[in-house]
């Protein structure tokens, strides 16, 4: 075989560098679940969450998180995933939010009280939505090498509960659940994909980095729950800034105009002592 010419090598280098400089597009990893099973598992788990946690019924707060959430869900990558995203508020003082496979997202009042801007809230929600789009929960469950898992997923009886059968394998909600606690690689992917969702929605992605920096500064016993569920990847802010710099130039000026009212309403929500379970 002829040796590749200098020109060809230069071209390969150029194309490789060019690709490295565009926004990163991640694909969901190995997964034994179908996308429909992500949705089923998420909806069954969401029903458990609603029994175990205190869902806030305030119409204004629900409307508010839906405005921000649907704005993010209109982004290209969220649309391509075809997952049905939903947004609910939980009365819980810990600074956290979580999204279940297939789309149901729960946002703690503690997080709503902690954010300094709507873009920071959009940052957490975009990050969570990205875990759903990239199917990180069921990817981790699939990688757990439970030998019964393929049989359970392959022989789905009509009307049967997926969540019940998976619970017998130890796959469920709760502390350290593979469905909700992610690797640093998954965290980086969620940060960078979240950056795309935020930018398309008109929110400055650097606000996500700013919030994570603020939360990780509160270390030790007072470390926010979000940071223990979502371990801090190295160079988080730099990676987010770098990714944002590869996106088309935009002015980040979108706001619902309801942030201050949200802060007032959420300040009046009574939070029960946090229960154990889904975190
Ligand atoms: Zn995360």
Domain of 141, in residue numbers: 35-267
pLDDT of residue 234: 77
Contact 41, 102 (CB under 8 A): yes
Structural domain contains residue 17 = no
| Rounded mean pLDDT, 259-274 | 92
Hey, what are 173's tokens?
């909600």
| Rounded mean pLDDT, 169-186 | 80
CA of 9 to the centre of ligand 1 (A): 39
Domain count, the chain: 1
pLDDT tens, residue by residue, 200-245: 999 999 999 999 999 888 876 677 888 888 888 878 899 999 999 9
Which is more confidently placed, 1 or 239?
239
Predicted TM-score (pTM) of this structure: 0.88
Extract the runs of DSSP E, i.e. beta strands, from the chain: 86-90, 97-99, 104-108
| Cα 163 → chain centroid | 20
Q: For the packed helices 184-201 and 236-245, what is the interaxial angle rounded to 10 degrees?
A: 40
CA of 168 to the centre of ligand 1 (A): 25
Angle value at C-alpha 253, between 71 and 268, nearest 5 degrees: 65
pLDDT tens, residue by residue, 31-52: 999 999 999 999 999 999 999 9
**Torsion angle in degrees (nearest 10) through CA of 108, 36, 153, 191:** -50
pLDDT tens, residue by residue, 149-170: 888 888 765 557 888 888 888 8
Between CA 28 and CA 109 the distance in angstroms is 30
Structural domain contains residue 175 = yes
CA of 112 to the centre of ligand 1 (A): 17
Structural domain contains residue 4 = no
Contact 143, 30 (CB under 8 A): yes
Structural domain contains residue 68 = yes
Between CA 206 and CA 83 the distance in angstroms is 26
CA of 117 to the centre of ligand 1 (A): 19
CA of 23 to the centre of ligand 1 (A): 19
Structural domain contains residue 10 = no
Structural domain contains residue 140 = yes
Mean pLDDT across the chain = 88
Among 114, 151, 195, CA closest to 32: 151
């Amino acid at each position: 075989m002829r040796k590749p010419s200098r020109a060809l090598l230069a071209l390969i280098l150029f194309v490789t560098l060019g690709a490295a400089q565009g926004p990163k597009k991640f694909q969901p990893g190995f997964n034994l679940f179908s996308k429909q099973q992500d949705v089923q598992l998420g909806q069954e788990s969401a029903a458990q969450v609603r029994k175990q946690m205190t869902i806030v019924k305030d119409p204004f707060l629900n409307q508010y998180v839906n405005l921000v959430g649907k704005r993010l869900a209109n982004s290209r990558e969220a649309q391509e995933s075809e997952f049905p995203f939903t947004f609910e508020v939980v009365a819980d003082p810990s600074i956290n939010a979580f999204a279940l496979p297939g789309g149901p997202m729960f946002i703690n009042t503690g997080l709503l009280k902690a954010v300094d801007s709507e873009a920071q809230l959009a940052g957490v929600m975009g990050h969570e939505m990205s875990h759903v789009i990239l199917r990180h929960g069921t990817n981790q469950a699939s990688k757990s090498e439970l030998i019964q898992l393929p049989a359970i997923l392959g022989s789905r009886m009509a009307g049967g509960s997926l969540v019940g059968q998976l619970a017998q394998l130890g796959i469920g909600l709760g502390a350290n659940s593979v469905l909700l606690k992610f690797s640093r690689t998954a965290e980086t992917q969620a940060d960078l994909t979240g950056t795309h969702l935020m930018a398309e929605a008109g929110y400055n992605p650097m606000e996500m980095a700013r919030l994570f920096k603020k939360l990780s500064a509160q270390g030790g016993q007072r470390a926010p729950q979000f940071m223990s569920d979502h371990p801090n990847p190295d160079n988080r802010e730099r990676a987010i800034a770098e990714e944002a710099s590869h996106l088309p130039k935009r002015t980040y000026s979108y706001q619902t105009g309801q942030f201050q009212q949200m802060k007032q309403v959420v300040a009046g929500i009574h939070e029960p002592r946090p229960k154990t379970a889904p975190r």
